[in-house]
Amino acid sequence: METDKEDGSASFDAARYHRAIVRPLRATPRRLPLDLRVRYDIHGPLCDEVLARHLDEVIGCWSERSREQPDYSRAVYVALLKAHQDLLTNPAVRLHSVAWWSAYQPPEPDAEAELANPPLSDVDLYTVKHLGRPIDRPSSDVAAKGDTAVGPLDAAVDTSTTGAAGDAPAADTPITDTPAVDGQLTDDASTDRVRDLRALRIGDDVELSWIWPGWATEAIVSWDSDRIHRAVDREKYRQTGCWRTALSSELPDGEVFFSLAVRGAAPKRQAWSEAVSVMAPGRRQEVTYRVRRLWYRFPSRAYTVAFRADRPPPVQCDIVIGFSGADAFPETTEACKEIGRAYLASDMSTLLVTLPRKLGSGWLRCFLVMGESITLKDPDVSTLRIRSWLR
Partner 1 sequence: MATLTCPYCYHKQAPAELYFVCDGQGSPGWESCIPRKDNQREQHTGYSGLAMPTFAPKRSKNGANPAPCPGCGASSARRACALCHTPLPVTLVDSPSPLIGMVGGTAAGKTVYLTVLNKQLREVISEPFRADVHLVGEQQAGSNSIHEWLQRYERALFTNGQLFGTTPPSPSGRRVPLVLQWRHPRRRFGWRTEFRGTILSFCDAAGEDILTQERADRQRYLKAADGLIVLLDAYQLPGVRSRVPLPEDNKEEKSLVDSVLAIVTEALRGAGTKTPKITVPVAVVVAKVDVIEPLLPEGHFLRQARPRVGDGYDEHFGANMHEHVRGLLYDRGASRIDRHVEANYATFRYFAVSSLGALPDYNEKEVNERGVQPKNVAEPLLWLMHLKGIIGQVKRG
What is the binding site for partner 1 (CB under 8 A)?
Answer: 167, 169, 196, 202, 209-212, 237-242, 326-331, 375, 378, 380-382
Q: Are 25 and 76 in contact, with CB atoms under 8 Å apart?
A: yes
Q: Report the 10 Å Cβ neighbour count for 11.
A: 12
Q: How far is the CB of 279 from partner 1 (least distance, A)?
A: 18
Instruction: Give the phi and the psi of residue 188 in degrees, each rounded to 5.
Output: -60, -30
Q: How far is the CB of 240 from partner 1 (least distance, A)?
A: 6
CA distances, 289 to each of 26, 57, 58, 226, 351 (Å): 22, 43, 40, 38, 10
Q: How far is the CB of 309 from partner 1 (least distance, A)?
A: 16
CA distances, 193 to each of 69, 128, 256, 260 (Å): 48, 20, 20, 9
Q: Are 149 and 194 in contact, with CB atoms under 8 Å apart?
A: no
Three-state DSSP at 210 gives strand
Kindly tell me which of 352 and 381 has the beta carbon lying closer to partner 1. Answer: 381
Kindly tell me which of 65 and 193 has the beta carbon lying closer to partner 1. Answer: 193
The secondary structure of residue 25, as a DSSP letter, is: G
Kindly tell me which of 294 and 326 has the beta carbon lying closer to partner 1. Answer: 326
Q: How far is the CB of 382 from partner 1 (least distance, A)?
A: 6
The secondary structure of residue 233, as a DSSP letter, is: E
Kindly tell me which of 93 and 246 has the beta carbon lying closer to partner 1. Answer: 246
Nearest to 191, CA basis, from 275, 278, 272, 277: 272
Could you tell me which residues are beta bridge partners of residue 278?
258
Radius of gyration of the chain (CA): 26
Residue 121 carries which side chain, given as an amino acid letter?
S
Could you tell me which residues are beta bridge partners of residue 351?
305
Q: How far is the CB of 380 from partner 1 (least distance, A)?
A: 6
Kindly tell me which of 42 and 199 has the beta carbon lying closer to partner 1. Answer: 199
How would DSSP label each residue in 101-146? HHH--PPPGGGGGSPP--SS-HHHHHHHHHHSS--PPP-THHHHH-
Kindly tell me which of 112 and 204 has the beta carbon lying closer to partner 1. Answer: 204
Q: How far is the CB of 365 from partner 1 (least distance, A)?
A: 10
Kindly tell me which of 25 and 208 has the beta carbon lying closer to partner 1. Answer: 208
Kindly tell me which of 217 and 375 has the beta carbon lying closer to partner 1. Answer: 375
Q: How far is the CB of 37 from partner 1 (least distance, A)?
A: 35
Q: How far is the CB of 45 from partner 1 (least distance, A)?
A: 48
